[in-house]
Structure 1
Amino acid sequence: MSNFTDESENFEMAFVINLADGTGREFYMTDSGAAVALDAPQGDEPMILRTDKLIEKNLINLKKKFPATCKLYAVELREFEHRRQNLRNSSNKSKASE
């Protein structure tokens, strides 16, 4: 018998709002409303949203604050952490080779 049922009962989705500007830079939104570069060595914790209604509400509010050239989207927390780590690592490698 599978443990899938037990695992799915404890599984909770968590999302982070990301922003891509017109130049290709990526940022994430914090609880304070700040946009922090995804490749920043350190920064505030991301705003974590757990329901689709909160995601939609925040996306609508944030779209009013940023130019139309910016793309706002929600990304699953694990994917966000993976992407942030990859960008930080590549940024560190670039600085080390200079």
Structure 2
Amino acid sequence: MSEILVVSGHTDLENSFANKIILDELKKHLPEAKFDILSELYKNYAIDVKAEQEKLVKADVIVLVYPFFWYGVPSLLQKWFEDVLVHGF
């Protein structure tokens, strides 16, 4: 069985409509998946880079769930990209 990691990059998931539904459906259909809800883990944007990189290394499949903001990603997910996906990782 594949190790599935779902990374939610929505900065305000409580007030989300679509992303909340998407995550609920993924949890229902993929109960074995691990969910990395960045807005719950890193409210202050202080990302635990080592922990996040370890999750990525263990995953066979990585699913990114986030709203589409003016052809970009939310600020928390952008910071996650910049901090975690560094050269040499």
User: TM-score, normalization: structure 2?
Assistant: 0.30
User: TM-score, normalization: structure 1?
Assistant: 0.28
Greater gyration radius: 1
Larger fraction in strand: 1
Structure with more relative contact order (C-alpha pairs < 8 Å, separation 6 or more): 2
